[in-house]
Structure 1
Amino acid sequence: MSLLPVDPAGGLTAVEDKTCTPEHCFHAFDALYCALTGSTPIPPSFPDEKFPLFITWNIKSSRPGRAPKLRGCIGNFEPMPIREGIAEYALISAFKDSRFRKIEAKELPLLECGISLLTDFEKASSYLDWTVGVHGIHISFPNPSIYPSTDSSAPSPLSSSAFLPRFFSRHTLSATYLPDVMVEQGWDKIEAIDSAIRKADWNGTITEETRRSIHLRRYQSRKRVVEWDEFVQWRRGNGDEDI
Structure 2
Amino acid sequence: MSVLESELSKAIGDEAEQACLPEHCYYCFDTLFCALTSEKPVSPKFPDGKYPLFVTWNTRPSRPGRSPRLRGCIGTFEPQSLHDGLADYALISAFRDSRFKKIEEWELESLECRVSLLTDFEDAENYLDWTVGVHGIHISFPHPSLIPVSPSPSSAPSPLSSGSSVATRSVLKHSFSATYLPEVAEEQGWDKIEAIDSAIRKAGWSGRISEDLRRAVKVRRYQSSICAVTWEEYSRWRTANGASM
- Per the normalisation by structure 1, the TM-score is 0.87
Corresponding letter in the other structure for 2:240: G
Q: 1:217 aligns with which of 217, 220, 226?
A: 220
SS of alignment partner, residue 167 of structure 1:
coil
After superposition, residues 175-186 of structure 1 pair within 5 angstroms as 175-186=178-189
| Aligned mates of 1:194, 1:152 — CA distance in 2 | 22
- Asked if the contact 2:146/2:169 (under 8 Å) is kept, the reply is no
Deviation at residue 147 of structure 1 after TM alignment: 4.5
* Counterpart residue type for residue 32 of structure 1: L
> What is the aligned partner in structure 2 of residue 35 from structure 1?
35
Alpha-carbon shift at residue 190 of structure 1 (Å): 1.1
Partner of 2:168: 164
The whole-number CA distance in structure 2 between the counterparts of 1:165 and 1:145 is 11
Per the alignment, do residues 192 and 152 of structure 1 end up closer, same or farther by CA in structure 2, a change over 3 Å counting?
Answer: farther
In structure 2, distance between residues paired with 1:196 and 1:131: 15
Amino acid aligned to 2:84: E
Q: Which runs of 5+ in 2 are unaligned?
A: 1-16
How far did residue 195 of structure 1 move? 1.2
State the partner residue of 1:232.
235
**Over aligned residue pairs, what C-alpha RMSD do you find?**
1.6
Summarize deviations over 1:178-231 as a string: whole Å, max 9, x none: 111111111111111111111111111111110111111000000000000110
Q: How big is the shift at 1:151?
A: 5.7
Q: How does 1:34-73 map to 2 (within 5 A)?
A: 34-73=34-73
Q: How does 1:65-214 map to 2 (within 5 A)?
A: 65-147=65-147, 149-150=149-150, 152-153=152-153, 154=156, 155-158=158-161, 159-161=164-166, 163-168=167-172, 170-214=173-217
Letter in 1 for 2:130: W
Distance in 1 (alpha carbons) for counterparts of 2:192 and 2:148: 26
Once the 2 structures are TM-superposed, how far is the Cα of residue 150 of structure 1 from its aligned partner?
3.8
After TM superposition, what 4+ stretches of structure 1 lie above 4 angstroms from structure 2?
none
Q: Flag structure 1 segments of 5+ consecutive residues without an equivalent.
A: 1-16
Amino acid at match of 1:189: K
Whole-Å Cα distance in 2 between the matches of residues 77 and 152 of structure 1? Answer: 38
1:145 Cα offset (Å) = 3.1
CA deviations on 1:45-93 (whole Å, 9 max, x unpaired) are 1110000000000012333443221000000011110110000000000
Which has the higher mean CA deviation after the structures are superposed, 17-26 or 210-219? Answer: 17-26
Match of 2:66, SS state, is coil
Residue type of the partner of 2:195? A
Q: Bigger relative contact order, structure 1 or 2, given CA contacts below 8 A and separation 6+?
A: 1
Please report the TM-score for the alignment, with normalisation by the length of structure 2: 0.87
C-alpha displacement at 1:24, in angstroms?
A: 0.3
**Contact preservation (8 Å) 1:58, 1:112:** yes
